[in-house]
Structures are given as C-alpha cells and as structure tokens.
Amino acid sequence: MMAWEGWFVLFIISLCFGLMATNRFSPDLVLMGGLTLLLISDIITPTEALAGLANESMVTIAVLYVVITGFRETGGINWIVDSVLGIPKSLSHAQIKLMAPVAAMSAFLNNTPIVAIFMPAVDEWAKRHRLSVSKLLLPLSYAAIAGGTCTLIGTSTNLVVNGLLSTETELPAFGIFDIAWVGVPVTLAVFGYVIASQRWLLPERRPVISTYSDAREYTVEMVVEDKSPLVGKSIEKAGLRQLPGLYLIEIEREGRILTAVPPYECLQSGDHLVFVGIVDSVVDLQRIAGLKPATNQIFKLDSTRVDRCLTEAVISNTSPLIGKTIREGRFRSNYNAAIIAVARSGEKINKKIGDIKLQAGDTLLLVSHPDFFQQHHNSRDFFLVSSLCDLQPVRHKRAPIAMTILFLMVGVIALGWLGILQAVMLAAGLMILTRCTTGRIARRAVDWEVLIVIAASFGIAKALQNSGAAAVIAEWLLSFTLGSPWMALGTIFVLTALFTALATNNAAAVIMFPIALYAADSLAVSFLPFAVTIMVAASASFATPISYQTNLMVYGAGGYRFKDYLYFGGPLTLLIGILTVALTPLIWEF
C-alpha cells in the first residue's frame, strides 16, 4: 500500500498538469506552487526543493543564453541561416534541412546548447521565408532528443544508465556506438513522423502582427555600404525579399530610379534602397551587414551607439515641423534624434527620407537616446511618444571572434577537455571580454521562466522518489506482464516514458533502473534489452513540455500550448515505444 505522502504527491502532480493544460497559468508559477506544497508538507526538505537551482544542467542553460547572445549580437545567426539552413523549397523541406544537422550534432554533443544555438536562427529563418515558427521549433527539439539516442555520449541519460550498469551489475558497459542500432532507426522514425503528421497535428501560430493587413507601414531608406558583402548579390540572395511585411519599392542608383525591382537585380555599392514595411522588419533591416540608414544624421547624435534605442513619435497639429521636409526641419539639432522612417495613415510615401514633407499625424520612427521619452512625452510637438526597443549595433566585425568562441566551446566539450558547464561559462566570459556582447544585454538574455520550471521539476521528481509513489506504481503495473519478457519490456518503456513526462529524463532513468533489474532477474532473462529500453524511453520525452529542457526552451518561443505536446508528441512516443520494444531483443537477446 502507498502511504498518504505518495497519494499527496500524485494529487499535486495531477493538479499541476491540469492547470498547465488549461493554458491559463504560466508553467513556472504552477510548478513553483506545487513545489511549495510539497515542501511545507515535509515530503521534501528545503535542500531537496532548492537542489534544482544548483543543478548543473539548469545553470548551463542559463549561461548558454549569454553565449548565444554574443553570437546573435555579432550577426552569427545570419551565418547559420545562410550557410546551414539555406533556402527551403517547402515546409517539409525546411523541416528536413533543420532536423538533419541538429540530430547529427546531438549524437555527439549535448543537445541543450545545440537547440539554444539554432532557436534564434530558426526564428530569423522563419521570418525570411514566411514560415510559421511553430512548425519548426518543436521538430527542432524532437530532432535533438532523437539524435541523442544514437550514441552513448549523445545525452546525459545514456551515461547515467551506463554508469548504473557498471556499478549495479556485472554486465559490460556499452560502447559509444552500441546503441546506434536502435538510436538511428528511432531518429529516422521521428523524421518520418514529423513530415507525415505535421499538417494535421502540429499547430500553426503566427505572430499577431502578421494577421493584420492594416499594420502601420513605414517608409525607410537604406544605403549599401562600400565593400558591403551585399555588393554583387541579387535582391533575393541578399535576403531582402524574405522579410515579412517589407517591400522594396525602388532603388536609386547614380541618379537613376529603378522601380518594380526584380528579384534577380544585383546590388551595387552606394545603392539607395527605399522600403515600405512594418516596424519589426524595419528593425531587422538595421541588423543586416552592409546596410545602413541613408541619413547621416544618426552618426551625428550626441550618444554612443550602444546607448541608442528606437522610439515612435506622432507629430501633433501644433508642431513646428508641419509643412517642412525632414531635411528642412533640422530634427537632429532640435531633438537629438534621427528620423529613419515615416508612416502616414496607411499611405505609402514614395520619397527619399529627407524629402518627405511632414504632416500632422505622421508617425516617426526615431533613433534616439533613451532619455528622449522622458524629455518629450509631454511636449506639445508630439501627440504620443513611446519607446520601442534598444537599438544595439550589430558588431559584424566581431562575428569571426564570436564564431571562434562558439566552435571552441563545442570542440572542447566534444573532446572532453572540460565539462559542459565549465566550457559554457568560459565561453560566456569570453563573449563579454571580447565585447561580442555587453553585460547589460547578457543579463537581459536569460529566460528565467524556463529556468524556474526546470529547477522546480527536479524537486517534484525527488518527491516522487521520497514518497515511494514511483516504486509502488511501477511494481503494480509490472504485475500485469504475465511472465512475458516482451510484455515486461513494453511495460518498462511505458513506465519510463510516463515518469519522464511527469518529472525529468534522468530522474525517470534512476527510478526505473532497479525496477527493470528486478523484472529481468525475476524472468531470468538478460538485462541489456531493458537497459537500452530505459535509455530510449527516458529520452523519448515528446508528450509534455516539462519532460525535457529542450521542450521547455521552445515552449514559449513557439507559442505552444500544453495540449500541443500531447497531441503531437503522444502518438510519436507510442511509435517510438513499439519500435524500441521490437528492435532491442533482436539485437540484445533476452
């Protein structure tokens, strides 16, 4: 019989899952609330409740956000988009182009940094090619998980089970590629499932701005710099046709105006490009290497580049700017801000930025100092002033440094010279020291919601163990195997996958190992098929967002709901279970 503590833990876990499934409460608040109830009931100690905050994997994820920020701020994300992902022909082609390299890398490297590296690149890639990011991020996580099953070092769970095999039994440890006999078919099955079912089971959610045809459109003028990497590239290959909600209306070249610009038109140094588009895409333009705002007023501002931000301001009917062109209004001199784009009641202003004659109600997109809002939000010159975001300069010249740091980090981890946490912390420090990112940006980069969920999950997993609920339920379900090793193997997979969905993969593997060992001894069969099944089942974390950290990492970024994981990942878990139970006894006989 299970004591009251076990029933209480199961009640708390069910309550947490139910609240998260409603999508009305954020996962971090729900799980921390559940953890608090387990703590005050004395099922776990304060040390056990807080152990997740000091867990190496959680700290590694936190520091990785800093590393990836350095990579993004130097334009390295664009390199991944252009060199690794390229131009997809269709959504299915895009998913394959994404999943194949991710799975291959995850077989040899920890999948958490791989997903962290690819997430911002996938977001940028989806924008350029008008793909729903929700159709890509969950396949990204699943590919990383599946790739980890292909080698012994692909995931920490494999190493945990292999370590238990060496210490708790007299069986030989697995070699680095031994489990590939199951891992590779599992990975291929994941690929096939994603391509076959994504149309019906994977949700498509686009940013809200893309659903409005009347979103405010700005006119912005950019110039191709001397020695720009864009020189000689066509409009399409330069990525200037793929930004959503942004249209190139004309090019001014040596006094000539080119309208209805074809995608194969090649860019030249000094070209002035006039775009019309929504603010998000105007911001993206500022980050493309080799393009700069056509106005030279930005470079005369009384603030350093790192202290600038984007601000919107609506011209009032009493403004002295009315009736004057931007050039005549001496905006920079009077307001210490530079106008880079203008929007006018849905109209497209087909003029160079300096020649636009301002009217009451025009919305200006400004590069300014953050103090602009405080100084002018009550000014009679403007109806409304609102700060949008920091406009950090993209440090393109430091991109080779950031990429070198990133590749060295991956190489040091792969060769085993440093542990994952040590290598990631060293890389984060180098990103800041080499000024690939700043301390202020690094602090903002950390996603605390993801980290809190991971930390709380460790405490809940410990409560499952302490209360005895895990062992009691497992032994009860094993009683239904009817003495069949195949049934026992299937039951072990189901239990491990269930505990992985409820807690974490490593906790599930640790809980299930002695139960599986007991089952194998009772049936007088080899334990090796059971060990491999635990490895795969603990990694088959597809059905819930909290079951694996990469699922959590894409949860918010993809706009997913809790039920999306159940609908899309549940059948996949069943498929992987059938495949694993069918294959393992054929390779490692009972």
pLDDT of residue 312: 84
Query: What is the helix (H) or strand (E) element at residue 54, kind and residue range?
Result: none
- Domains of the chain plus CATH, in order, are 4-205+448-587 (no CATH), 218-277+290-390 (3.30.70.1450)
Q: Give me the residues of the chain with pLDDT under 50, please.
A: 207-214, 299, 303-304
* φ, ψ dihedrals at 484, nearest 5°: -95, 125
Please provide the size of the chain in residues: 590
Residue pLDDT, tens place only, 516-562: 887 888 788 899 999 999 999 988 879 888 777 788 788 878 888 88
List the end-to-end C-alpha distance of the chain, in Å, as a whole number: 31
CB atoms within 10 A of CB 263: 12
pLDDT of residue 212: 41
Maximal C-alpha separation, the chain:
92
Closest C-alpha to 161, from 514, 579, 474, 543: 514
Token reading at 555: 């949860």
β-pairing verdict for 337-343 and 363-368: antiparallel
Pair 71, 401: CB distance under 8 Å: no
pLDDT of residue 208: 41
pTM of the model: 0.65
Q: What's the Cα-to-Cα distance from 227 to each of 81, 267, 293, 295, rounded to whole Å? A: 22, 12, 16, 19
Dihedral angle sign, alpha carbons of residues 101, 102, 104, 109: positive
Residue pLDDT, tens place only, 135-179: 999 999 999 999 989 988 778 788 888 888 888 788 888 887 889
pLDDT of residue 151: 85
Token reading at 304: 């350093």
Closest C-alpha to 111, from 453, 577, 562, 539: 539
pLDDT of residue 394: 61
Query: What is the helix (H) or strand (E) element at residue 413, kind and residue range?
Result: helix 399-415
Q: DSSP letter for 309, please.
A: E
Pair 229, 82: CB distance under 8 Å: no
